[in-house]
A and B are shown apart, each in its own frame.
Chain A
Amino acid sequence: MTERVRIENLYKIFGDSPQEAVRLLRSGKTKDELLASRYVVGLNDVSISVPAGSIFMVMGLSGSGKSTLARCINRLIEPDAGRILIDGEDVTRADAARLREIRRSRVSMVFQHFALLPHRTVAENAEFGLKMRGLPARERREKARRILEVVGLAAWENHRPAELSGGMRQRVGLARALATEADVLIMDEAFSALDPLIRNEMQDELLRLQQVLKKTILFITHDFQEAIRLGTRIAIMADGAVVQEGTAQEIVLSPNNDYVAAFTRHIDRTRVFDAASVMSPAEPIVLSGDGTVVEQRRGGLGPAYATDPEGRILGYYAPEDLDSLSETREPKALLRKDFSAVRSDAKLFEVAPLCRSQRPVAVVDENGRLCGRIEADSVLAWIGNNQTRAS
């Protein structure tokens, strides 16, 4: 995946002469030492890389600098040192006109408390960015309508935000951000002000939209559950610095320090880890088109899967049938079909019910090719192992 947003060694200091403070930080002074000289460290040497089309979660408690980081990207807050590259262009060097251009068409933003204009209708709010860009009224209304349809608010275009519920208002906020067709989306605690049920709904909605739109999303949250639910990658921030960055599984499996461990402790592991993390190698028996055995690597116990040369599953052989396999001329006749298949990215809580039946479980990749197998015992062992270590 190509990189869309890259942040290099970003600093933000609140105080009288930030440059001085940046120098002190670089020379090894700590945040607390700087606080004594009346500098509040907002961002301390933050570097992240956001691949195009991914949802990158920035997680941290309040005061950890996550919102400051988000606001530095479109320079609602001016960073004091470091670079912000969007497709290789350094945003920190853009002049006022170029910066407006970037804000109008490259980066858009969704706000925690929606930040809609109360005196404007839903459609007028959705087309706000396009209006700033100077698009003719008819054209921008047309675009706004299309986007409102995407977020399911077409019927409300002439209503005022005050007439909408929280979830609907944030859909308008999302529509406003999507309408500019910017490919980088900053979502600053976008769902934090919503009721838990509506929040879940909006998270699903975002994932659904993301499948189609493939935006590069930088999502700020204080909710680790939300981070693992939405995030392709997660960066955890504390005191203005990134303390750990990785996939949800990496972070839950090996938290860098106690601060990170505190977040991961109460996380339901079966919702973080996928089938790929518990599967064992499939070691399939490969059958050629005419049904002859091409390759048989397997020596272990349990059912043996059989695939065609492209790796697609044909069925499996029960252990008791394996001996007769070498004698028969029709290996395909012995194949059994009563197995379950799961995608390698299916979460364990989805896999577990399959293991309860006596059928063997095969793991396939997104193209339907066999990539592993799951034994009921291994799932159980894995869950037991990780949950106990956590508590």
Chain B
Amino acid sequence: MFDPDNLYVLPLAEWIQVAVRWMAVNLRPLFTTIKWPVESLLGFIQDTFHAVPYPILILLFSLFAWRAATGRIALFTALSLAFIAIIGVWYEAMTTLALIATSIILCVLIGIPTGILCARSDKAWSVIRPILDIMQTTPSFVYLVPVVMLFGVGTVPGAVAVIVVAIPPLIRFTNLGIRMVDREIVEAGIAFGATPRQLLLEVQLPLALPTILGGLNQTVLMAMVMSVIVAMIGAEGLGLVVLQGLGRLDVGRAAVGGIAIVLLAIVLDRITQAMANEQGVQRPSFLSNFVRLLRLRRTDDEEAPIAARAARRGTAVDDA
């Protein structure tokens, strides 16, 4: 008698079905436009990763890890990737990595400018903040519903879902990083006649960089997690290996997928965390950090004087 099914059931499911069908039909150009950059970028990266022989890719990734982080992390990267290749899921791992790389690139391209906008305008922040709150409280699983309805199934809609889930931390941290820059340093920038643009590039972004990279680390991990979940909507990669393994009760296959996912996640986390930490200590300029990644020469304080180390330990040298 008190079974809720006995009551009148609001036909919400039907309404949504109708609304979404309408949107899918009438707003198709919009969603195709959104899909296009994701699709092209994903296709390019995926093709590249699949075309390059795996020993060379392992070498390149390790090199990247060495430049961006440390030698130890580079070694760990090389060993992990080699292990992934040996257990036979290299192709799937590269698909997942391409998915993550695509999402991260687009997250950075959208998230950092949005974060900057939020930091500069309280009004923008007051609009975007509640959206981020909703995005972050919604379980990532639930995102699959609208994505499938609007973008269909496959790896590209998967990438869209990954971007949506992974972008909020980057926006938050960018906003926070810029707002936290020491007031007096910002004042100094203005006092010496910086334009808003100069202030952003010379003062605010470089000083916010450690925080932004911390946000990037969060974004990368979110992307990693979501790249597995989107296997449920037909995205290829390691998630699909796990899903298929479970579906066929092939525990061994599922475990292989799982191990590869964990290794990949640890590698990505180590690299991005090391980037953020290194920034916190040294804070080279925004650009020089990227230049440094390209250069094959260690520019770290090889000739750093004792004073530098003393200062880093928190003790200041005497006034000369």
Which residues of A are at the interface with B, using a C-beta cutoff of 8 A? 71, 74, 76, 100-105, 107-109, 111-113, 115-120, 128-129, 131-133, 152, 159-160, 162-168, 176, 180, 186, 198, 201
Inter-subunit contact B316/A166 (CB<8 Å)? yes
Within the complex, which residue of B182, B189, B190, B284 is in contact with A119, where a contact is CB–CB below 8 Å?
Answer: B284
B79 within 8 A of A: no
Inter-subunit contact B191/A108 (CB<8 Å)? yes
Query: How long is the Cα–Cα vector from A109 to B184 in the complex, in angstroms?
Result: 11
- Which of B195-203, B214-222, B226-234, B259-267 lies at the interface? B195-203
Inter-subunit contact B198/A111 (CB<8 Å)? no
Within the complex, which residue of B182, B184, B192 is in contact with A103, where a contact is CB–CB below 8 Å?
Answer: B192
Inter-subunit contact B202/A131 (CB<8 Å)? yes
- Which of B16-24, B90-98, B307-315 lies at the interface? B307-315
Contact string against A for B residues 276-320, beta-carbon threshold 8 Å, 1 for contact and 0 otherwise: 000000111100000000000000000001011011100011111
Inter-subunit contact B207/A132 (CB<8 Å)? no
User: Main secondary structure on chain B at its contact with chain A?
Assistant: helix
- Knowing A119-B284, A163-B307, the reply to whether A103 touches B207 (Cβ < 8 A) is no
Query: How long is the Cα–Cα vector from A257 to B193 in the complex, in angstroms?
Result: 40
**How many pairs of residues, A versus B, come closer than 8 Å at their CB atoms?**
98
- Knowing A111-B184, A129-B193, A131-B202, the reply to whether A118 touches B318 (Cβ < 8 A) is no
Separation in Å of the A387 CB from the closest CB of chain B? 34
The 10 A-B pairs with the shortest beta carbon distances in the complex, nearest first, are: A104-B193, A115-B188, A103-B193, A119-B283, A167-B319, A129-B192, A115-B184, A109-B191, A100-B193, A165-B316
Inter-subunit contact B307/A159 (CB<8 Å)? yes
Residues of B within 8 A of A163 (CB): 305, 307-308, 310-311, 317
Inter-subunit contact B207/A133 (CB<8 Å)? no
B187 within 8 A of A: yes
Known: A115-B182, A118-B207, A165-B320. 6 other contacts (CB 8 A): A104-B193, A115-B184, A128-B189, A132-B189, A160-B308, A163-B305
| Residue ID in chain B nearest A128 by CB atoms | B192
Residues of A within 8 A of B193 (CB): 100-105, 129, 132-133
Query: How long is the Cα–Cα vector from A276 to B310 in the complex, in angstroms?
Result: 50
A-B contact pairs, 19 of them (CB 8 A): A71-B187, A76-B190, A103-B193, A104-B192, A115-B182, A115-B185, A118-B207, A119-B283, A132-B192, A132-B193, A132-B194, A132-B195, A133-B193, A162-B308, A162-B312, A164-B316, A165-B320, A167-B319, A168-B320
Query: How long is the Cα–Cα vector from A358 to B110 in the complex, in angstroms?
Result: 84
B157 within 8 A of A: no
| Residue ID in chain B nearest A113 by CB atoms | B184
Query: How long is the Cα–Cα vector from A46 to B68 in the complex, in angstroms?
Result: 55
B111 within 8 A of A: no
Within the complex, which residue of B190, B192, B308 is in contact with A108, where a contact is CB–CB below 8 Å?
Answer: B192
Query: How long is the Cα–Cα vector from A152 to B185 in the complex, in angstroms?
Result: 23
B257 within 8 A of A: no
Query: How long is the Cα–Cα vector from A167 to B318 in the complex, in angstroms?
Result: 9
Inter-subunit contact B285/A120 (CB<8 Å)? yes
| Residue ID in chain A nearest B303 by CB atoms | A158
- Knowing A115-B185, A163-B311, the reply to whether A103 touches B191 (Cβ < 8 A) is yes
B115 within 8 A of A: no
Inter-subunit contact B188/A109 (CB<8 Å)? yes
Query: How long is the Cα–Cα vector from A128 to B189 in the complex, in angstroms?
Result: 8
Residues of B within 8 A of A104 (CB): 192-193
Separation in Å of the B154 CB from the closest CB of chain A? 43
B168 within 8 A of A: no
Separation in Å of the A121 CB from the closest CB of chain B? 10
| Residue ID in chain B nearest A107 by CB atoms | B191
B206 within 8 A of A: yes
Separation in Å of the B182 CB from the closest CB of chain A? 7
- Knowing A108-B191, A115-B182, the reply to whether A166 touches B319 (Cβ < 8 A) is yes
Inter-subunit contact B305/A100 (CB<8 Å)? no
Query: How long is the Cα–Cα vector from A198 to B318 in the complex, in angstroms?
Result: 10
| Residue ID in chain A nearest B288 by CB atoms | A119
Residues of B within 8 A of A117 (CB): 185, 202-203, 206-207
Contact string against A for B residues 233-267, beta-carbon threshold 8 Å, 1 for contact and 0 otherwise: 00000000000000000000000000000000000
Query: How long is the Cα–Cα vector from A115 to B189 in the complex, in angstroms?
Result: 9
Query: How long is the Cα–Cα vector from A116 to B185 in the complex, in angstroms?
Result: 7
Residues of A within 8 A of B194 (CB): 100, 132
Query: How long is the Cα–Cα vector from A102 to B284 in the complex, in angstroms?
Result: 30
| Residue ID in chain B nearest A155 by CB atoms | B320
Residues of B within 8 A of A112 (CB): 184
Residues of A within 8 A of B312 (CB): 162
Q: Which residue among A102, A103, A115, A165 has the maximum number of chain B CB atoms within 10 Å of its CB?
A: A115
Inter-subunit contact A165/B318 (CB<8 Å)? yes
Residues of B within 8 A of A133 (CB): 193
- Knowing A104-B192, A159-B305, the reply to whether A168 touches B319 (Cβ < 8 A) is yes
Inter-subunit contact A164/B188 (CB<8 Å)? no
Separation in Å of the B160 CB from the closest CB of chain A? 36
| B39-73 residues at the A interface, CB under 8 angstroms | none
Separation in Å of the B193 CB from the closest CB of chain A? 3
Within the complex, which residue of B182, B192, B317 is in contact with A165, where a contact is CB–CB below 8 Å?
Answer: B317
Inter-subunit contact A111/B284 (CB<8 Å)? no
Residues of A within 8 A of B195 (CB): 100, 132
Q: Which residue among B188, B194, B203, B310 has the maximum number of chain A CB atoms within 10 Å of its CB?
A: B188
Separation in Å of the B310 CB from the closest CB of chain A? 8
Query: How long is the Cα–Cα vector from A159 to B284 in the complex, in angstroms?
Result: 12
Residues of B within 8 A of A132 (CB): 189, 192-195, 198, 202
Separation in Å of the B175 CB from the closest CB of chain A? 20
Separation in Å of the A129 CB from the closest CB of chain B? 4
Query: How long is the Cα–Cα vector from A166 to B190 in the complex, in angstroms?
Result: 23
| Residue ID in chain B nearest A99 by CB atoms | B193
Query: How long is the Cα–Cα vector from A129 to B283 in the complex, in angstroms?
Result: 21
Separation in Å of the A368 CB from the closest CB of chain B? 37
Query: How long is the Cα–Cα vector from A164 to B312 in the complex, in angstroms?
Result: 11
Inter-subunit contact B319/A201 (CB<8 Å)? yes
Query: How long is the Cα–Cα vector from A39 to B317 in the complex, in angstroms?
Result: 45
Residues of A within 8 A of B319 (CB): 165-168, 198, 201
Residues of B within 8 A of A108 (CB): 191-192
Residues of A within 8 A of B305 (CB): 159, 163
Separation in Å of the A318 CB from the closest CB of chain B? 51
Inter-subunit contact A111/B202 (CB<8 Å)? no
Query: How long is the Cα–Cα vector from A152 to B319 in the complex, in angstroms?
Result: 11
